[in-house]
């Protein structure tokens, strides 16, 4: 499973991952998914079980303040981080068990997204900042809802282990091809 792209529903794979075996999980589900509340009720218990640190981009906007308050109460500790990417603000929900805190505001200027055929690729520097600040070489990173694969690609470049889980076959194949290239 380590250093692989797994093309499957994450809820079929997460139970196979041992407790607290993941240093960082980035759970970047597609925007505007109508089942976000149901998704988080299934996802959060698994993230707490397997990962020391979990990051869920854009969660506040997806769910609204009432549901975020519910999550904060049910799943502490938490932190809401604001990322500024080329002057665009995005809130990121940050759950952790470790002591390695990151600032509440991070600004990344002049960044480019990974080149791919994906509707919403993440910027490379975004992934580099998260991985650099929250993990060490050799740590295992879970790229949940991998999509364009920027987390897995960056993890590989930065000498971290990764597990990429993506349900969409075309994104899985594209990511496998990128990760198999000798020079990323």
Residue 46 in contact with residue 14, Cβ under 8 Å?
Answer: yes
Peptide bond into 64 cis (omega under 30): no
Residue 81 in contact with residue 94, Cβ under 8 Å?
Answer: yes
- Closest C-alpha to 152, from 129, 176, 173, 133: 176
pLDDT score, position 55? 80
pLDDT in tens, 76-102: 655 555 555 555 555 555 555 555 555
Could you give the percent of the chain with pLDDT greater than 70?
A: 62
Give me the number of domains the chain comprises.
Answer: 1
pLDDT in tens, 7-52: 999 999 999 999 999 999 998 877 656 666 777 788 888 988 898 8
pTM: 0.80
* Domain with 66 in it: 4-180
Res 158 pLDDT > 80: yes
Of residues 183 and 21, which shows the higher confidence score?
Answer: 21
Res 123 pLDDT > 90: no
Number of H helices, E strands in the chain: 7, 8
**Domain CATH code at residue 103:** 3.40.50.150
Residue 113 in contact with residue 126, Cβ under 8 Å?
Answer: no
Res 146 pLDDT > 90: yes
Encoding tokens for residue 126? 């975004």
Instruction: Return phi, psi of residue 161, to 5°.
Output: -85, 155
DSSP one-letter string for 2-69: TTEEEES-HHHHGGGSPTT-EEEEEE-PPTT-TTHHHHHHHHHHHHHHHEEEEEEETHHHHH-HHHHH
């Amino acid at each position: 499973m380590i250093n692989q792209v797994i093309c499957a529903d994450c809820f079929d794979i997460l139970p196979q991952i041992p407790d607290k075996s993941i240093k960082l999980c980035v759970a970047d589900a597609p925007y505007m998914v109508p089942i976000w509340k149901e998704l988080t009720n299934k996802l959060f218990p698994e993230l707490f079980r397997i990962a020391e640190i979990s990051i869920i981009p854009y969660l506040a906007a997806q769910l609204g303040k009432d549901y975020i308050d519910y999550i904060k109460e049910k799943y502490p500790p938490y932190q809401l981080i604001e990322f500024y990417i080329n002057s665009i603000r995005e809130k990121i929900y940050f759950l952790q068990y470790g002591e390695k805190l990151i600032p509440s505001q991070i600004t990344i200027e002049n960044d480019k997204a990974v080149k791919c055929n994906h509707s919403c690729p993440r910027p490379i520097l975004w992934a580099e900042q998260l991985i650099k600040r929250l993990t060490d070489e050799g740590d295992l990173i879970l790229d949940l809802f991998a999509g364009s694969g920027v987390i897995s690609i960056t993890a590989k470049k930065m000498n971290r282990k990764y597990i990429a889980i993506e349900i969409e076959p075309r994104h899985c194949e594209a990511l496998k091809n990128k990760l198999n290239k000798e020079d990323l």
